[in-house]
Structures are given as structure tokens and as C-alpha cells.
């Protein structure tokens, strides 16, 4: 995992003082290009890691070789844990490395460093829609999570009506470039889509957070509840094996291969709240897939097909005075 490598790279630099990308690659058994990207990532995150070009150069950790990490400032320690923390969420080894790293920090830095490591979770599974740019609001909320300060949100719900509320920010989740804030409110734990937050004011008031709160576990509970609401109906299709991965990108967690056959096809279960929503997703596949059921989805597909023929078939084009396409 990349988090393991970043921590190991930093500790290697602290023990040697100066390293080259080739040194890191040999020590960690990765390619030179990977080692160089990791060094650049540490530097870009605000860790005092700088390249020294020319003969005899390399990468140095400003302040020299310190195995106890006392050479890092509070902001630099936060930057490191914000960088490696999300990736550590899926790696037991990385979590162990971070715990050891925390113990090596000066005591005054530990609380903020631990908070930074737990501030963000990355969930790579898609839900279908996505925003390609990271909202600028994320940095402000991330600061509030790390510093444990209450935030006054102006939030626009699904109906676009705005409301104001004071929350305790507990953590941020990046799910396929869509960001969510998990926070405590006077009505308990709530989840907010960051792109619907109109404004966020970080207050000076201390935020409360349960001692047993784990961001990754809290997000798993959120996902489970959302999945229940989104997966009320299942359909079964036969699809060539080579297209299963593409179908999975459309349905994410709602796509499950149940059986594979010798003819190169698989029976796959897909799910969505309504027959129409399933049919709308499957209609574009045409004859590539065979919908086995249920009848409600087959009926919606037939209805959609009839509507398309009525709107765009040869008779419709001729009635509008348009020439038929070639071959008609």
C-alpha cells in the first residue's frame, strides 16, 4: 500500500539524511519511477522533503537525520498524516506504521496528527454519478475535523431549500470524487454531501466526538443504509464475460456475478429502486445482453423500445417530412 511506502520512505530519509530515488527503490523494492513519485508526494504535501539536483544530489529531509521525528513542525506532521491516513484505512500494516509514527512525535503534536490520520476515508466504489473536481470546501472542513472545531453550515437539501445548522465535524469521505461530511448534530449523526454545502464557518467552539467513533465503520453503516434504499428490486441478465466489468461500473455494489457458463456468458444480478430505473440502464445495451427477468423490467424495456420506435422509426421520420436514413 502507498501509505506504507510513504511512512517507510520518510523513516529511511531520517535514518540516512539524504537519499536518491534509486536508493528508495532498492530499499523498498519498487521501481525508481514509483520511488520518485512518492518523494514528490511527500514534498507536495508540505513535508520538509526537498530535492538537491546535480552530481552527489538526491532528496534530503530538512533538519537532518532524526529518528524521533522531532524535526517536523505541527503543520508538517498534520500534512504527513493527511497524506497517508486515507490509504491506511484499508491496510492493517499501514495502520500499525501510523501508530508507531504517532508515538515518535512530540507529545504536543500527537492529537492533531491522530485526528489528521482519521479525518478522511476513501471509498472507491461508484454510485453512478460523480464530480470530477475536488470541492474547495473540503480543505476548510478538513481543517475543522483535525482541529476539532464546530462548524456552522449553510446546507442546501434535495429540494434546494437552505438551512443553517451547527455541527461537530467527525470526518470526510471521498467516494469516487464525491465528498461527504459525517458530523454530529443535535439529532445525532448525519451525513452531508459537500457539494451541497453553500457555506461553512469554522467556529472557535470545541467539537465533541464520541471516544469510540471510527470513521471507516461509520461510513460502512452509512453505505449499508443507502444501499437498502437504492436496491429495492433485482433483475437478472446474461452478458458476455468481457462486458461484466463495464456493467459493474454502471451499478457498482448493485452488480453481482452469480454464475458463469461455457458459452462465455455470465448470469449477473443487478439492482435499482424501480423496474424503470433498471430498464433505463439496460436499454442502451441492446442485443448484447439478455434480460431474464423479472417481467416488470422486461415490460418496461418493451415500453421504452416501443416509444423509441414511435418517435424515431421510419414512419415517424416520413410523417415529419424527413428522408429516411440509408438502408431504410
pLDDT of the residue at 90: 42
Q: How far is CA 199 from CA 133, 163, 187, 213, 304, in A?
A: 18, 11, 21, 26, 42
46 and 137 together in one domain: no
pLDDT of the residue at 168: 95
108 and 127 together in one domain: no
Cα radius of gyration rounded to whole Å, the chain: 26
- Residue ranges for the chain with pLDDT beneath 70: 1-4, 7, 15, 45-46, 54-56, 62-134, 158-160, 176, 227-231, 316-328
Phi and psi based region of residue 286 (left: phi greater than 0; alpha: psi -120 to 50; beta: remaining): left
Q: Determine the Cα–Cα distance for residues 162 and 142; give it in Å rounded to an integer.
A: 22
Would 140 be classed as within a structural domain?
yes
Q: Which residues pair with 153 in a beta bridge?
A: 165, 200
Look up the domain containing 239 and give its range: 231-317
Q: Which of 60, 95, 117 is the last residue of a domain?
A: 117
| Residue found by looking up cell 451525513 in the block | 191
Q: Which residues pair with 121 in a beta bridge?
A: 173
Q: Which of 255, 279, 277, 276 minimizes the C-alpha distance to 267?
A: 255
Domain count, the chain: 3
112 and 127 together in one domain: no
pLDDT of the residue at 132: 53
Q: Which of 102, 117, 132 is the last residue of a domain?
A: 117
Would 325 be classed as within a structural domain?
no
pLDDT of the residue at 273: 84
Return the CATH number at 104: 1.10.10
What is the 8-class DSSP label of residue 324? P
98 and 138 together in one domain: no
pTM recorded for the entire structure: 0.45
Q: Which of 117, 143, 164 is the last residue of a domain?
A: 117
Would 144 be classed as within a structural domain?
yes
Sign of the torsion formed by the C-alpha atoms of 88, 91, 94 and 96: positive
Q: Determine the Cα–Cα distance for residues 171 and 157; give it in Å rounded to an integer.
A: 20
pLDDT of the residue at 65: 38
Amino acid at each position: 500500500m502507498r501509505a506504507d511506502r510513504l511512512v517507510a520512505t520518510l523513516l529511511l530519509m531520517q535514518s540516512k539524511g539524504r537519499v536518491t530515488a534509486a536508493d528508495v527503490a532498492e530499499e523498498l523494492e519498487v521501481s525508481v519511477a514509483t520511488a520518485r513519485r512518492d518523494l514528490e508526494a511527500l514534498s507536495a504535501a508540505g513535508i520538509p522533503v526537498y530535492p538537491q539536483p546535480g552530481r552527489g544530489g538526491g532528496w534530503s529531509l530538512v533538519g537532518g537525520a532524526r529518528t524521533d521525528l522531532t524535526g517536523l513542525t505541527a503543520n508538517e506532521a498534520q500534512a504527513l498524516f493527511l497524506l497517508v491516513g486515507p490509504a491506511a484505512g484499508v491496510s492493517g500494516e499501514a495502520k500499525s506504521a501510523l501508530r508507531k509514527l504517532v508515538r515518535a512525535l512530540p507529545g504536543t503534536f500527537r492529537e492533531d496528527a491522530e485526528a489528521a490520520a482519521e479525518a478522511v476515508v476513501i471509498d472507491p466504489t461508484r454510485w453512478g454519478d460523480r464530480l470530477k473536481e475536488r470541492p474547495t470546501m473540503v480543505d476548510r472542513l478538513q481543517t475543522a475535523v483535525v482541529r476539532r472545531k464546530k462548524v456552522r453550515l449553510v446546507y442546501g437539501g434535495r429540494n434546494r431549500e437552505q438551512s443553517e445548522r451547527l455541527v461537530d465535524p467527525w470526518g470526510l469521505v471521498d467516494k469516487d470524487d464525491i465528498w461527504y461530511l459525517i458530523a454530529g448534530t443535535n439529532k445525532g449523526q448525519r451525513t452531508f454531501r459537500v457539494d451541497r454545502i453553500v457555506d461553512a464557518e469554522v467556529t472557535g467552539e470545541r467539537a465533541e466526538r464520541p471516544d469510540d467513533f471510527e470513521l471507516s465503520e461509520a461510513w460502512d453503516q452509512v453505505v449499508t443504509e443507502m444501499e437498502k434504499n437504492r436496491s429495492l428490486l433485482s433483475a437478472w441478465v446474461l452478458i458476455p464475460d468481457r462486458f461484466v466489468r463495464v456493467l459493474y461500473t454502471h451499478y457498482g455494489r448493485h452488480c453481482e456475478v452469480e454464475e458463469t457458463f461455457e458459452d462465455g456468458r455470465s448470469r449477473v444480478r443487478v439492482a435499482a429502486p424501480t423496474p424503470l430505473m433498471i430498464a433505463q440502464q439496460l436499454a442502451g445495451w441492446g442485443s448484447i445482453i439478455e434480460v431474464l427477468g423479472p417481467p416488470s423490467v422486461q415490460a418496461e424495456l418493451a415500453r421504452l423500445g416501443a416509444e423509441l420506435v414511435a418517435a424515431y422509426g421510419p414512419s415517424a421520420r416520413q410523417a415529419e417530412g424527413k428522408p429516411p436514413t440509408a438502408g431504410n
